[in-house]
Structure formats: C-alpha cells, structure tokens
Amino acid sequence: MPYRVRGEQVANLAVTSVALTASATTTATSSATATALMTFPNAFFEGGDYLVWLDAPFITKGTTNINIEIWVDGVFSSSLTGVVTVSTVVPGGVYTGKITVGAGNHIVTLRGFVDAGTGTLGAGTGATGVTPNAFGWITSI
C-alpha cells in the first residue's frame, strides 16, 4: 500500500550511521596525528550542510584533556567536542558538529587526541550490565 510523506519528513533521516560495540582509545597528542575513533561508512551526500552526531556512553580524557574532531575524506573539518577537561570520565552525552560537503561520496571520521596519557571514546556491547554502544549518525540540515 503506497503512502505519502512530506519533504521535511525525509530530509532529517540519517544519511549514514555507525555503532561502536567496543571502546576506542587514542594516545595521539595533536590534531595532525589524531587517532580514528569512529568511521562512518562511505555514503553519498547531496551536497550542502549536515549535522554530525555522536552519542557516547562516556568519554575519558587523557592526562588533562581530550579533543574529538570531524574529518571529511581525510581532511580536518571541525571540532566536535572542543577541549574536554571537566573530569576524568565525562558521563554520557550527545555532541553535534556541522560539516559542509559537495555532492558525491564522502567518508566522515571522528578522530581524537589528548595532551598526554590515553583518551577513550567509551562503548560496549549493550548486554546486561555492560556499557551500551556508542552511536554516530549524520543528518542533513
């Protein structure tokens, strides 16, 4: 049976999404050497502005801080978290950043680095008593 939807209902569907079932760590100490913490599948974008979402059960800073950035096709695009320094473990949260891309296929990666030590983007299997998945998704604006 056919059904009708309005354009704005379709516009906010995710272009691509990814789930992490295990934590990802970084010991990189600069943006230039940042570690890939989450990589979205290659996806086609119509071109324009998109929101990149990260829903993380927890983030652990390095010695003093952790930075998570959005990279598009291997090139820095924008900071997602800025410098997180508030505590050793930042409880679950949703972080949002904006990217602008041309029409075509693109690979979006969330990369992280710390001042020293080890930073963690927390994730687990979501089984009973286990940390839930970390999710990322990209929507058009």
pLDDT digits (tens, 9 = 90+) for 87-104: 556 677 889 999 999 999
| CB atoms closer than 10 angstroms to residue 27 | 14
Q: Are 115 and 64 in contact (CB under 8 A)?
A: yes
pTM of the model: 0.88
Q: Where are the domains of the chain?
A: 15-140
CB 128 within 8 A of CB 53: no
Q: What pLDDT, on the 0 to 100 scale, is given for residue 41? A: 96
Q: Is the pLDDT of residue 8 over 70?
A: no
Q: What average pLDDT does range 37-43 have in this prediction?
A: 97
Give the torsion sign (CA, 78, 83, 84, 86). Answer: negative
Assigned architecture for domain 15-140: Sandwich (2.60)
